[in-house]
Chain A
Amino acid sequence: MEPSSNHFKLFGLEIGFDIDEQLLAQRYRELQRTAHPDRYVSATDRERRLAVQRAAEINDAFQILREPLSRARYLLELNGVGWDAERNTATDPAFLMEQMELRETLHEARAAREPLPSIDRLLADISERVGGAMAELRELFAAEAPDFERIKVNIDKQQFLRRLQRQAEELEEELLGAA
């Protein structure tokens, strides 16, 4: 028996991309105070195992809803839109160009005489792009009949940007460590 049929309902939230993140966090804590195995240290073994399961479900649901991209993917799933991580993402030529340019910038930054300022600029650029894409994603979900294909492309794009951001940060750390 599942306590709730979907993650939004578990936290008493309306299904949608725009959620009150503070409310989500607050309800998450309230639920964990009830279900966490720490509340069952003197209970029977079975009860403790069940508490571990429930607490794990609540944690999982919270992780999925808290992070906007995983929340978006979960909304696709709820709408019956398949998400195939392996599918070919090279459908948008403009995005393809953007990817190549950004990768090139990172590559150049590594070789630059003063790599750190270049990386900083790249990171600022990425975070601006992420901001723009996030605003677009919010709009896409707000539409009366959301265009799920465009939503998928947007998620792909943001995932790429996140990856690149991580690579840039790692490079920065590597350079700082070597200094």
Chain B
Amino acid sequence: MALLHISEPGQSTAPHQHRLAVGIDLGTTNSLVATVRSGMAETLDDAHGTAVLPSVVRYLEDGTVLVGEQAKAAATEDPLNTISSVKRFMGRGIADICKGCSRLPYHFADTDSNVPRIATVGGAVSPIEVSAEILKVLRDRAEAALGGELAGVVITVPAYFDDAQRQATKDAARLAGLHVFRLLNEPTAAAVAYGLDRGSEGIHVVYDLGGGTFDISILRLNKGVFEVISTAGNSALGGDDFDALIAEWIAEQAGICDEADHGQMRRLVREACRAKEALTAAEQVPIKIECKAGKNWEGVLTREQFNRLVDPLIQKTLAPCRRALRDAGLSVEEIEDVVMVGGSTRVPRVREQVAAFFDCEPLVDIDPDKVVAIGAAIQADVLAGNKPDDEMLLLDVIPLSLGLETMGGLVEKVVPRNTTIPVARAQEFTTFKDGQSAMVIHVLQGERELVSDCRSLARFELRGIPPMVAGAARVRVTFQVDADGLLSVSAREEATGVESSVQVKPSYGLSDVEIERMLTDSIEHAEDDVAARLLREQQVEADRVLEAVGAALAQDGQLLDEAERAPIDEAVDALRAARAGSDPRVIKRAIERVEDASADFVARRMDASIKQALAGHSVEDFN
């Protein structure tokens, strides 16, 4: 006999439909995907039972794209078409990439786009497209394991990522056909994994030394709220640098510094990486490399020598630790514990130095390679609405100050770093010359005073300012940063109301046109039907809107009288009808109509819920 279900008191009798959501750790060296199943967060394995996907993509002449272990295995034999550590290039221009290393690892194609393109036999690809290939593999893996389409994902980024790098990551997700619930800072994700497991409260430090990036974050955990108090780091420092140093040391010892070609260097780096990993347990490790055909070099790397080599790099991580502490106004004694994240924290010397600096034994109980993905999965599960009673809320901060260029090439900061996001700030500027009719708004990110020392995010013009004497115009520039850390800027001349705004498209980002073209390209590549894909996208969006508005009306319909409600119902009916049709443009317009019709309702609802949040308090609180 089938048993009947009886729900727990207080819970809805109509169970919420479980939405498929995953957390993705898009790492420099490795990437992972994790989800919450039956209340447990776990990473998802590929068909061979491996969770870790090497962030390596190989392009073949026939257009085939290989991702992961298979690509990594070819890195030495086909170095120029096999792209690893692409995360370092995200949101960066070619000049930045050259600055970082003495020898460029790939050939870069000439391009009229701002985004550098790596020339491969399969065609020129941008770092965003390379990242999208990695995301697609993880998406397919997740959809196969969970048996359905993903409602959304949480993707982690280093806390120190600037606007351009975040935007590039979000663009990659879009290319991979993923709906991004949130970009989450990696250290915050790690704290989620630990915090929820241990139920601890207080001040926590997350020390994250990955393959290519270092982040330090100081967080306050209190009753399910994670506040990032400060962050610092170095977006070009990680385990790869350990490997490079060891590889250089080997080349020096073997006397092959000058003759090493791309392939040889790759072999050395692989050997270096193996030696580093072996030294986690062993006191010394034998090294054997092939120099020229038939000629070998053999040697030994001791842990002591290894420590000497990497100590300067570890020291380089401690300066940001000091800065983050100072920014947070905290001393070492106030730190409850230190969470270790990233494969490089397996290096015993790193643990020693961190323990000495913070004067406490760092936490290492969760696999440092998986902890970020697990935290992201927990957050994705909450954001998908699968845990309606969960009160977890993550409040992140902006990692670098945002400002504008003023006269003399100076930067005026508008939003200082470590401001909690979302944030909106406005500042007024004025004209420099009599009769000046336009103003260039140059948006910058960074801590330095000179424009040339900061990262240029975007440049746009406010035109049509009526002629006035110098200093008379009042141009109000508003910065808005959303929960993902993405910036939009608008400018308005107050006297005339002349307006201009941009969703900041970073100087080294893709334009919308480029993204559209890549989407179409990838569709053609898959021999998919473009029209069908566009229709499907609008249908998914329509379903999302119908569900959202339906739920809002069911919950707060009483906020509307009949006359107010009628146009919303009408627009919803029209959208349902359009959804049943096959014209994506008609569906899009119908969606916009629903959004327009429900604009007031949406605002009223939100304000009502804000009042509701305070309603539990006594009346005399409200004067």
Co-assembled chains A and B: yes
B326 touches A169 (CB 8 A): yes
* Bound-complex Cα distance A44 to B596 (A): 11
A43 at the B interface (CB under 8 A): yes
* Bound-complex Cα distance A33 to B48 (A): 41
A97 at the B interface (CB under 8 A): no
A177 at the B interface (CB under 8 A): yes
Complex A-B, nearest 4 residue pairs according to Cβ-Cβ distance, in ascending order: A56-B424, A12-B621, A34-B613, A56-B422
- 10 A-B Cβ contacts within 8 A? A9-B623, A29-B222, A32-B395, A33-B391, A34-B610, A44-B549, A46-B599, A52-B480, A56-B480, A59-B421
B393 touches A44 (CB 8 A): no
A37 touches B482 (CB 8 A): yes
Chain B residues whose CB sits within 8 angstroms of the CB of A98 once the complex forms: none
A1 at the B interface (CB under 8 A): yes
- Chain B interface residue count, CB cutoff 8 Å, equals 54
Q: Which of A33, A35, A45, A53 contacts B424 (CB 8 A)?
A: A53
Residue of A whose beta carbon sits closest to that of B222: A29
* Bound-complex Cα distance A89 to B58 (A): 64
Chain B residues whose CB sits within 8 angstroms of the CB of A81 once the complex forms: none
B394 at the A interface (CB under 8 A): yes
* Bound-complex Cα distance A46 to B383 (A): 18
Chain B residues whose CB sits within 8 angstroms of the CB of A36 once the complex forms: 393, 395, 422, 483
Chain A contact residues, majority secondary structure: helix
Known contacts: A41-B152, A44-B548. The answer to whether A3 contacts B611 by CB under 8 A is yes
Residue of B whose beta carbon sits closest to that of A59: B420
A54 touches B610 (CB 8 A): yes
Q: Which of B326, B385, B420, B548 contacts A47 (CB 8 A)?
A: B548
B480 touches A31 (CB 8 A): no
B6 at the A interface (CB under 8 A): no
Chain A residues whose CB sits within 8 angstroms of the CB of B617 once the complex forms: 12, 27
B580 at the A interface (CB under 8 A): no
Residue of A whose beta carbon sits closest to that of B395: A32
Interface hub of A56, A57, A62 (most chain B Cβ within 10 A): A56
Contact bitstring A149-179, B, C-beta under 8 A = 1, else 0: 0000000000000000000010001000100
Contact bitstring B59-103, A, C-beta under 8 A = 1, else 0: 000000000000000000000000000000000000000000000
B326 touches A37 (CB 8 A): no
Chain B residues whose CB sits within 8 angstroms of the CB of A3 once the complex forms: 607, 610-611
Chain A residues whose CB sits within 8 angstroms of the CB of B384 once the complex forms: 41-42
Cβ of B235 to closest chain A Cβ, rounded Å: 21
Contact bitstring A88-120, B, C-beta under 8 A = 1, else 0: 000000000000000000000000000000000
B223 at the A interface (CB under 8 A): yes
A27 touches B614 (CB 8 A): yes
B589 at the A interface (CB under 8 A): no
